[in-house]
């Protein structure tokens, strides 16, 4: 488990890293520069025809950043978990996204890989949704992650600040019980990053990594725009 790598990486305010997609090595360099080094560049499995092709891109990005993330794609589609696992078996020293149902299995198979566990909001504070559509309490989700040695919980889609109360509740439970990180995703951008980050900082969670995709990606080229990353960091420094 490379949790130690995350603990040792320089972080914004000793607290946060920011996950942005990188189309290629040059785009990853742009991401790292615009984020002042406080980023984890990543890919999503659905952008590639094979795990081998995706793994080759991960290897390229690893020359620009210590940690590279592999996402499920398709809005966190749980059915892509096998593709992500396959990619991580080729490049195990990475960060990967998994639905909570398969996170424990993946973590056991790939102890050098940093695996998160994805749950979704329900519209009810203290209740999270599984990939099956079933609902469990935030406490049950956290307890499972602890039992499976999962270091981070991913929560998506938060739709900007729509589900912020649910995110904060889940994060507080995770922090109180000893989970290392929270990783929200969905609708995050320069217009709401300060509000979300400030709320998360009140919970006591040691590590925070928002996944910021849609608002920063050029729809024509698929490249993350460094100027949008700069806007996010400027927004964070408004307070």
How many angstroms separate the CA atoms of 225 and 13, rounded?
23
Can you tell me the distance from the alpha carbon of 17 to that of 154, in angstroms, rounded to the nearest whole number? 14
- The kind and range of the H/E element at 199 are helix 193-201
Residue 113's Cβ-side half-sphere holds a number of Cα atoms within 13 Å equal to: 27
At 238 the pLDDT is 76
239 pLDDT exceeds 90?
no
CB–CB of 226/34 below 8 Å?
A: yes
3-state secondary structure of 29: helix
For residues 175 and 169, what is the distance between their CA atoms, to the nearest angstrom? 10
- Residue count of the chain, please give it: 239
pLDDT at position 103 over 90: yes
User: Is pLDDT above 70 for 2?
Assistant: no
- Does residue 218 carry a pLDDT above 60? yes
Which CATH architecture fits 3-23+35-236? Answer: Alpha-Beta Barrel (3.20)
Please choose, from the candidates 199, 231, 191, 210, the residue with its C-alpha nearest in 3D space to the C-alpha of residue 69: 210
- Tokens of residue 52, six digits: 């081998």
Query: Could you read off the pLDDT of 112-132 as tens digits, one per residue?
Result: 899 999 999 999 999 999 999
Q: What is the arithmetic mean of pLDDT over 206-217?
A: 94
Q: Confidence class of residue 1 from pLDDT cuts 50, 70 and 90? A: very low
Mean pLDDT of 12-27: 97
Residue 93 burial class via C-beta count within 10 angstroms: exposed 0-12, middle 13-18, buried 19 and up: middle
Give Cα 118 to chain centroid, integer Å: 9
For residue 128, how far is the Cα from the chain centroid?
A: 17
CA distances from 122 to 56, 77, 163 (A): 37, 17, 9
3-state helix, strand, coil in the chain (%, to 5): 40, 20, 40
pLDDT in tens, 128-164: 999 999 999 999 999 999 999 999 999 999 999 999 9
Q: Is 71 helix (H, G, I), strand (E, B) or coil?
A: strand
Name the more confident of 226 and 6.
226
pTM for the predicted model, two decimal places:
0.95
For the chain, what are the domain ranges?
3-23+35-236
């Amino acid at each position: 488990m490379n949790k130690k790598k995350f603990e040792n990486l320089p972080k914004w305010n000793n607290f946060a890293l920011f996950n942005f997609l990188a189309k290629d090595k040059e785009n990853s360099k742009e991401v790292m520069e615009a984020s002042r080094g406080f980023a984890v560049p990543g890919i999503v499995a659905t952008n590639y025809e094979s795990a081998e092709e995706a793994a080759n891109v991960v290897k390229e990005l690893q020359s620009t950043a210590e940690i590279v993330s592999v996402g499920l794609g398709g809005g966190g589609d749980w059915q892509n978990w096998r593709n992500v696992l396959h990619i991580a078996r080729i490049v195990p020293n990475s960060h990967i996204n998994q639905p909570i149902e398969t996170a424990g299995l993946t973590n056991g198979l790939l102890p050098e890989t940093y695996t998160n566990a994805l749950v979704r909001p329900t519209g009810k504070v203290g209740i999270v949704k599984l990939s099956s559509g079933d609902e469990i309490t935030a406490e049950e989700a956290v307890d499972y992650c602890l039992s499976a040695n999962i270091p981070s919980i991913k929560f998506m889609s938060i739709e900007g600040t729509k589900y912020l109360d649910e995110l904060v509740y889940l994060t507080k439970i995770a922090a109180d019980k000893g989970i290392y990180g929270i990783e929200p995703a969905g609708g995050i951008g320069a217009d709401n990053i300060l509000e979300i980050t400030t709320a998360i900082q009140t919970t006591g969670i040691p590590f925070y990594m928002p996944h910021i995709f849609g608002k920063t990606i050029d729809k024509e080229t698929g490249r993350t725009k460094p100027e949008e990353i700069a806007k996010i960091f400027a927004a964070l420094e408004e307070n």
